[in-house]
Structures are given as structure tokens and as C-alpha cells.
Structure 1
Amino acid sequence: MTTHSQHDRIARRIKALREDAEMTQAELAEKLGFNDRQTLASIEAGERRVSPDELVRVARALDADPDVFVDPFRLIGEGAFSFRVKEVAEPVLAAFEEQARRWIATYRELGRQMGEEPRRLGQKLELYPWSSFEDADESAHALWEHWQLGDVPADVLEEAIETQLGALVLHVDAAEGISGAASRLPGLHAILVNRRESRGRRSFDLAHELFHLLTWDAMPPRRVEPWEVRPTKGNRVEQMAEVFASTLLMPAPVVVNRWMGRGGEELPLWMRRMAEALRVSVPALQWRMVNMGYLTRGELRALPSPPRPPVSAKEPTPLLFSRRFVERVSWAVETGRLSLRRAAGLLDLSVMELSELCAAHGHPLSSYEMPG
């Protein structure tokens, strides 16, 4: 990291930690012994460098460890998050956000050490708060064609997000009630998906959060968004995100083609088979059929509940994090840039768990011998 970047990081974190402590510039300046508030304002604006002695005094005044101002494996004072949750207490959500910030910071810092340049240009959707649901539908269809997502978009969407946007997609263990999240940083965007959710839910969360990444400037999402979005009531931006996700995962040409080949198969059974084929939930497919005009709301309400698939048919839980993420961590450990214990701590894993995870992702650690 350049001296200039380190200087910017310190300035940004002083301001963030001061605001977290609900302290004004004047109050902190007085604690630091500055003659006026302007000295601290210049430091926080990056116009004046803070001396090592001053940094120690700042840490003491804010009751913080001095390392917190320089640690590259943390996100403080940067990064915006939006979480999809259902009845989650704020302390639980805050703890998960802290974990997420550490994971994303680790990925970014290791990329910097590998010589990767942050991506400064990215794709956006020409959608705005006043855009129609038809606009969201058309945008999803255009992206499906442009990214060549094929007949089962859910199978390739994660890779497309990583390669087309340079975004980070992580499968994580989240507390019950936290479904997914999107995060935006300069040069790096991320999507977190609760890997314990059903396959259909994970697919929809991924597509829904992609919408937020592609429209963040025009329609920044709130920090907390509802787990379920009502088709007729609620936040209009979230409704557009649902329309976008539905169209992206169930493109009209694919749905029409499969509908035309239905033959005499009973509708509930066809719905179940179709949903499994597209890796979506049956309710998501049903609403897609209503919106496309193949089902009325009355017909939808009259449909019997489809049979549940046998336990043996359930797909395995995705591996923790992602191949690209674990590849970076493995590289850092193998090249000595991170100790095995430090890497495990950053990921909230034990040393053995990290070693097993690296091996499962195809990047076994030669520096660690599995017991037994």
C-alpha cells in the first residue's frame, strides 16, 4: 500500500470512529489538545497528516486499539451494505455485518497483494425510481441475452457476476433470518448468500442483489430490506428487483418453450418439475406464469400444493465462501503473507476447518498436515 493510501485510510477511520462514538469534531479536538476544531477537520479531510503521537492520542480518546486505524483486513468508514432480513435483532445483524466487512476486506487486500487492480468501470442498468416494471423486465431480458445465460440462468449466474462485473460472490453461514446481502465498495462489489437456504431461495437472492449492484447509484437500497417482497404492496424499488430477478432466472423464451412442450401433464406436477429444472421455487414460478399471462390469480389460488421432493433429491449445501475467495487465502498462506492461524481467524474458522475448506475447493495447503 502506498503512503498516500495509508494516509487516506487513517483519515477516513478517524472520522468514522468519531461518528460512531457520537462525538463532534470540536469535542474530539478538545480531548486531543488542539487549539481549534479546524485542525481535526483538516486531518479527517486528508489535508493534514496525523503524527504517530497524535494517532496514539486519537486511539486513547476514542477508546480504540491503534491498529484499528491501519489494519488492511478491516472495513471502517467505507462500504455500503443492504441486507435482506426477517425479524433479526440489530445486535445479530451488526455482528454479521462485521464478519462480512472482514471477509470482503480480506479478499480486497489479498487481491492488492497479488497485484490486482480494482475495477473502476462497471455495468449499470438504465433504471430509476420512476421506471416501470416493464422496464425492469426488459432490462433483465437484455442482460440474459448479453451475458448469454442460456436455458438455466441460475446455473451460470454466479460465474457471470464474477467475470462480467468482477464482483465477489460468497456463500456464507448467516444467522436465521438473514437471507442475503449486497455490498458496494469503490472498485469491488459483493453479494453474500446464506448457503443454508434452499436452492430456489439462493438463486433468487443472487439475482435480486445483482439488481441492487447494477442500480445502486440511481436507487441506493436501504440498509435493511424485507425478506419477502409483496407483489402489490411495499417498496417500489424492491418490487422492481423482484421483477428483474424473476425475468433473469425465468426468461420468457425459456418459459414459453417449456410451456408449449407441457402436453397433458398436470399443472402442479409440471410446475414442480419446471421449478426444479430452473433452480427456482414453485411460488416464484407461479407468479412468473401469472405475470406472463399464462395463469390468472384465481387459478393460482386454486392450485393444490405441489408434492414435496424426497429428501434424497435435495441438492448439497454449497461449499463455504467461493473458489476464488479461498484461492486467494490459500495463496496468501502458501506464500507466507498470512500465517495459517491469522488466515483462519480472519475467516472465523479453526485452523483445521480452513485447511479442510481449502482442500475441498481444490487448493490444499502444503503447510498443513491433516491429522490422522
Structure 2
Amino acid sequence: MDNRVSLVSPRLDSKPWGGRKLGRYGLALPLGEPIGEALITAGEAVVSTGYLAGQTLGQIVEADPSARLGATAHDAVGGRPVFPLLVKLIDAGGNLSIQVHPDDSQAAHLDRLGKTEAWHILEADPGSVLYLGIRPGVSLAEFQEAATRLDGSSARMMRTVPARPGTTVLIPAGTVHALGAGVMVYEVQQPSDITYRLDDWGRVDAEGNPREVHLDAGFAVAQLQSIPELISPVSLRPAIGERHLLAACRPFALERIALPRGGSLEISKSGSLGVVTMLEGEANVNDLRIGRGSSAVVWPSKRPSILTALEPCVALVSWVPDLMPDIVEPAIRAGADPQTVAALGGATGDLHQAMRP
């Protein structure tokens, strides 16, 4: 078997809003630090076991971008030598800043990609919420005035959605949003670090200075009409276990796979590498074993890659999709109606466009 599978060691980032819950997923957290993010596929993430062990993801891609990424993924990043998906586990011990990201066209002058992202909720404290867009009826001027106070006042003008484990939301670039306190999410996004912070709840640094905000740049890209809705998953009705599409747009797709002991499914994608993150249990990806909290990159290959459960397991898989063969056609074959399939793309409209005659 062609075993082009790499187990990766994520980069851990300390954040003022972070916590310690990421340790529940087998990650060794540094003592005494509030860890907010495990950046699973950061360019600095090192392959610990498997294919090209010892190299960083950035080094692997830079060596041969088109071969390492696959044709679809290579196109999605505009031919740049960057890993095409940024996958994270995020522990929001406190509220994240109220923020917004540019789209690809707005980031082009920086020779960067924009940032559309999706959240899949892993854990949520009672009463925790997601901040998703500005409430209808609130003008941009009103929101701007509240944001300039830098004390979280603008949050009262945002739409809140209860955070419930197992739900997914796709957040297009231009959406004003924030992850609320007490929520842990799996995030997949375009490989971009452009974040325009609009309001940071009055937080200050050790010297008493407020964190930097980017009001002019942020409001220049904010889209008031972008108010994301939770996405209904689409079952692909596999012969064994469960397989649900959770979200899909041109930059990325996300699915959830649950298998009983001994069950197996093909997870390779023809035009893109993939990232497998094990949430529960233990499995092999080809011959490489991955356990709870571990993630593996499945590089493009001419031979299929198979996920085989060594015990009952649940995994999330992200990749850069070819929307018709990867998303639309298998969903329709499984009995999903076109409207439900199109809704996997949220407000991006990508699936609506792909499904047009």
C-alpha cells in the first residue's frame, strides 16, 4: 500500500482568552499557560511519524507544490507554495475578539488569500453562544460607534446563536463574528492570517494597554448582510458506519465519519490532499495509527487511502473539493434534495453556482 500519510505535531499558541481543555485531546500543554489554539496544519507543524517524518508541512509543500497539494488544492491557493488548509482546535476559555476577515480579492494587494472559515462545535458550556453577524436593523455607523469604545459594547448589536456540540457553521469572509466563551471548536479555514480586530471586550496587556484593533481596515471589508446560519449535515449513507457532509465551499470541505470496530471507508480525494483528525477512538489511515486528538495529512496518491477503525471511532476529514464529484453528486446519489445540498455552502453561494445547469 502507498503510505503517503503523515502524522503531524501541531503548533500550540498561548492566548489571553485560552484555557486548558485541549489537553483532553491528548495534546501536551505547557504548564501554566492559557492555550487557545492547536494549529494542526500550520506551516511550522512537524511531521512526527510517517511519510517525510522530520520535515515541516511548509518544507514539504515548498519542495514540489503541485505534486504535494493536488491539482484542485493547488488552484485554490493560486499556485502559492502553501498548505491549502489551516485546521485548528480552539479552546475559547474567554470570548474571542469581535473580528472580520477580507476575501481573496480584498487580500490580493497583500499577495495573500482571504479567509473563509467553518466551525464544528466540539464542546460548549451551558449558555455559551456564537456571535454571527450584525443584527438586522443595526446600521454600520451604529456598530462602528459602539466598537470604538473597545469594551465589548458592540457585542450587544450582534446576532447570537446557542453553541451546541455537533453543529457546524460556515463563516464567509466579510462576516463580523466572534467565538463565545466556553466553546471548543474544530476550525478549518483558508490558509490566511489576516484578521481585523474590531472590539476586544476591554482586554489590556500586562502594561494596561488595549490590544491593537483595525477599525478602518475591518469596516472596509465588513458585509452587513452576511449572517450565517447553522448547516444541516447531509448523510452519504455508507454501507458501514456513518458519513456526513458538514460544510463545503470552493476553499474547503468538511465531513464527519463514525465507524464501528473493524469498519473501513476510503477517504482519499482525487484533486487534493486531506487532513484527518480523530475525535474519538483509534484508527489506521492505511498503515499509520492515529488516536484521539491526533491528526494526519493524507497526501495525493494514485492509490486509495483507507480509514480503518481499530475501535469505535469518530473522525473529521477536511480537503479542498471539486464540488460536483466530491459533494453534489454523492449527496444526490444518497437521496439528498438539491436545496439541502446547496445549503452546505452556507452564504458563500459556491454550491448554488456549481449546481447551475
Shorter chain as normaliser: what TM range? under 0.3
| TM-score, with length taken from structure 1 | 0.22
**Bigger Rg over Cα:** 1
Larger helix proportion of the pair: 1
Higher relative contact order (CA 8 A, sep 6+): 2
Larger strand proportion of the pair: 2
| TM-score, with length taken from structure 2 | 0.23
